[in-house]
Amino acid sequence: MSSAPYNSHFSLIPGCYGVDGESDSIMSSASENSTEPWFCDACKNGVTPSCELCPNQDGIFKETDAGRWVHVVCALYVPGVAFGDIDKLRPVTLTEMNYSKYGAKECSFCEDARFARTGVCISCDAGMCRSYFHVTCAQREGLLSEAAAEEDIADPFFAYCKQHADRFDRKWKRKNYLALQSYCKVSLQEREKQLTPEAQARITTRLQQYRAKAELSRNTRPQAWVPREKLPRPLTSSASAIRKLMRKAELMGISTDIFPVDTSDASASMDGRRKHKQPALTADFVNYYLGEQTSRSRLCASFYEGSKKRNMRMIQIQDNISEQKNLKDKLESEQEKLHVEYSKLCEFLEELLNVNGTLRSEGQALWALLGGIVGQKLSTPAILKAPKERKPSKKEGGTPGKSSSLPAILYSCGICKKNQDQHLLVLCDTCKLYYHLGCLEPPLTRMPKKTKNSYWQCSECDQASSDEADIAMETLPDGTKRSRRQIKGPIKFIPQEMSPEPKKQQLRGTPKEARDCRDLK
C-alpha cells in the first residue's frame, strides 16, 4: 500500500473510488506511482456530507446529480441506484429508485432506534427472509458479499442476514472491518505528526486548487433532471433532518427519549423469527393523539402570542392617551393665557374708544363754536362724525340689550356661556346660537353635515315631531335657497255639544220652480 494515494480520511485503491490516477490530477506529470496528493470528492468540495441512504456518517462519499451525497458502498448495494459514468462511479442518480422505499423498512442492526427507519434498507438475499438492514450497518456486521470477477451475474453485490450468512466468514469480515477502522484512526494521527510544514503547505495548496476546480465544475455542469410530479418522502426518513431536530431539542432543553425502545422486536427481527406482540396502541391512534397535542400546543402558542400583542397594543394606547392628555392640558393652559391677553386687549381698546369719543365731542364743540363765529352752519367733517353704533346679534355672542361698537370675535356657548373650544361650537340655523358638542342633549360626537338644502337645529328649536312639521323653501340674504321646517299649528278643537254649521237645504222641485225661486230672490 506504499504506492496508494494519500487521503486525509482513509487509504484507498484508486480503482475502488472510480479514479484512473491521471484524469483527475491537476499536474500533467502525475502517474500511478506519483506521490501527488489525492483527495476524495467530499474534501474537494469542502463539505461534511451526510448519506441519503443510511444514517452512518463515516466512510467514502460520492455526490449525486442533485447535489446530495451517498456512500459508495450504499450506492453499489441499494437496488435502483444508477451511475452516470460506471468507470468513474459518478454522478450518482437516485431518481430512478422508487421514493416509497425511503423509511419503508426498519433496520435491525441500528444502535439508535430513532435512525432505524431513515434512508433505504435492503433485504436479505435469502429466499423468503424478512430481515432488513442498512448497507453500512450490514458492512459493520460483516454481512456484505461480492461476486468474483469471473462470475458473470447481473447484480454482483448481495448481502445475507446473521441467520443465513456463514458464521466464520461473517466474523472474519467484521474483524477486518474493525481493524481497518482502528488502523485508519491511528495512521491518520501518525501521518499528521510526521508531516513537515512544507508538506502540509503543499497539500493545502493542492487542496485549494482542487476546490477551485470543483467549484468551476459545479457551476458549469448541466442541471439535473427533475421529475415533473412531486415525489413524496417522509421527513423521518432523512437522518440529517433527525439530527438537526435532535440538536434543536437539545438546545431548547427538550428530552428526546419520550418513548421507550422495545428491544424484543429488534431481537426477533435479528433472529428472523416472529414473536407474538402484546396488545398496544395503533400507530394511527398515536399519530392522532400526537396531532391533537400539537394542535393544542399551537393553539395555546397562538393565544399567548395574541394576548401578548394585545397587551403591547394596550400599553401603546395608554401611552398615546397620556401623551394626548398632556398635550390637551398644555393647549388649555395656553388658551387660558390667550383669553386673558384677549380680555386685556379688549379693555385697552374700550379705553381708547372712550378717549376717542371724548376727543370727538370736544372737536364737535369747537367746530360748532367756529360756526357761530363765522355766522353760518358749517358741515361737520367726517372725522368728527360719530360712528354708527352696531347692535351685536346673538350669532356674535352678544346680549340683545347691550350695544357696543366692538365686534365679538369669540363665540360663546348658549348653554355653558363659555367661549372655550371654538372648534367644537356648532351653529343652530334657527336660533342662531352656538353650542358645544358636549353641552347638547344628547351630546354629539362629530360636527353635523350641512348642505344648501339642509340645516341643523338644536334640541330646543326642534321639539316638534316630524308629523307636525312641513318643509318649505327659504331664501337666504345672499340669494340662496334652502329647505326649512315649518311648525303647523294645532288643529282647532270642536266640542261635541256644538254641532257644525247646518248646510243650506237644497231646493227640491222641478227645474222651472227652481228658476222661479232664484228670480224671486
Flag whether pLDDT at 265 surpasses 60. Answer: no
Candidate from 130-144, 278-292, 295-309, 433-447 with smallest mean pLDDT:
278-292
Q: Which residues contact 455 (CB under 8 A, 6 or more apart)?
A: 429, 430, 482, 483, 484
DSSP string, 97-132: S-GGGTTTS--SS-SSGGGTTSS--EE-SSTT---E
Flag whether pLDDT at 7 surpasses 50. Answer: no
For 15, the grid coordinates are 480503482
pLDDT at 39: 83
Phi-psi region of 273 (alpha: psi -120 to 50; beta: other; left: phi over 0): beta
pLDDT at 475: 65
Q: Which residues pair with 472 in a beta bridge?
A: 484
**Of 40, 69, 67, 66, residue with least CA distance to 54:** 69
Flag whether pLDDT at 271 surpasses 50. Answer: no
Tell me if 448 sits within 8 A of 426, measured CB to CB: yes
Tell me if 133 sits within 8 A of 112, measured CB to CB: no
Flag whether pLDDT at 409 surpasses 50. Answer: yes
Q: In terms of pLDDT, which residue wins out, 270 or 222?
A: 222
For residue range 155-207, list pLDDT tens digits in order.
788 899 999 999 999 999 999 988 888 888 777 777 777 777 888 888 888 88
pLDDT band at 323 (very low <50, low <70, confident <90, very high): very high
Q: Which residues contact 446 (CB under 8 A, 6 or more apart)?
A: 437
pLDDT band at 319 (very low <50, low <70, confident <90, very high): very high
Flag whether pLDDT at 41 surpasses 60. Answer: yes
Flag whether pLDDT at 491 surpasses 70. Answer: no
Sign of CA dihedral 223, 225, 228, 233: negative
Let me know how many helices (H) and strands (E) the chain has, helices first: 10, 12
Tell me if 102 sits within 8 A of 119, measured CB to CB: yes
Provide mean pLDDT across the span 38-61: 89
Provide mean pLDDT across the span 63-68: 88
pLDDT at 402: 47
Flag whether pLDDT at 500 surpasses 70. Answer: no
Flag whether pLDDT at 391 surpasses 70. Answer: no
Provide, for the chain, the percentages of residues in helix, strand and coil under a 3-state DSSP scheme, each rounded to the nearest 5: 40, 10, 50
Q: Contacts by 355-359 with C-beta closer than 8 Å and gap 24+?
A: 357/386
Provide mean pLDDT across the span 69-76: 92
Flag whether pLDDT at 284 surpasses 70. Answer: yes
Residue 151 backbone phi and psi in degrees, to 5: -80, 130
Residue 86 backbone phi and psi in degrees, to 5: -70, -35
pLDDT band at 261 (very low <50, low <70, confident <90, very high): very low
Q: Please, where are the H alpha helices in 221-282?
A: 239-252, 263-271
* Residue 437, Cβ density class (10 Å: 0-12 exposed, 13-18 middle, ≥19 buried): middle
Provide mean pLDDT across the span 313-325: 93
**Of 73, 177, 168, residue with least CA distance to 119:** 73
For 66, the grid coordinates are 442533485
pLDDT at 470: 53
DSSP state of 232: -
Average pLDDT over all residues of the chain: 76
For 242, the grid coordinates are 433527525
Flag whether pLDDT at 223 surpasses 70. Answer: yes
Flag whether pLDDT at 55 surpasses 90. Answer: yes
pLDDT at 507: 42
pLDDT band at 412 (very low <50, low <70, confident <90, very high): confident
pLDDT at 368: 85
Tell me if 406 sits within 8 A of 350, measured CB to CB: yes
Provide mean pLDDT across the span 54-62: 90
Tell me if 239 sits within 8 A of 50, measured CB to CB: yes
Amino acid (1-letter code) at residue 93: T
For residue range 135-164, list pLDDT tens digits in order.
999 999 999 988 877 777 777 888 999 999
- Cell 429466499 maps to which residue? 127
pLDDT band at 380 (very low <50, low <70, confident <90, very high): confident
Flag whether pLDDT at 339 surpasses 90. Answer: no
pLDDT band at 74 (very low <50, low <70, confident <90, very high): very high
Question: Distances from the Cα of 436 to the Cαs of 92, 101, 420, 461, in angstroms?
Answer: 84, 80, 9, 16
pLDDT band at 70 (very low <50, low <70, confident <90, very high): very high
Give percent of the chain above pLDDT 90: 17
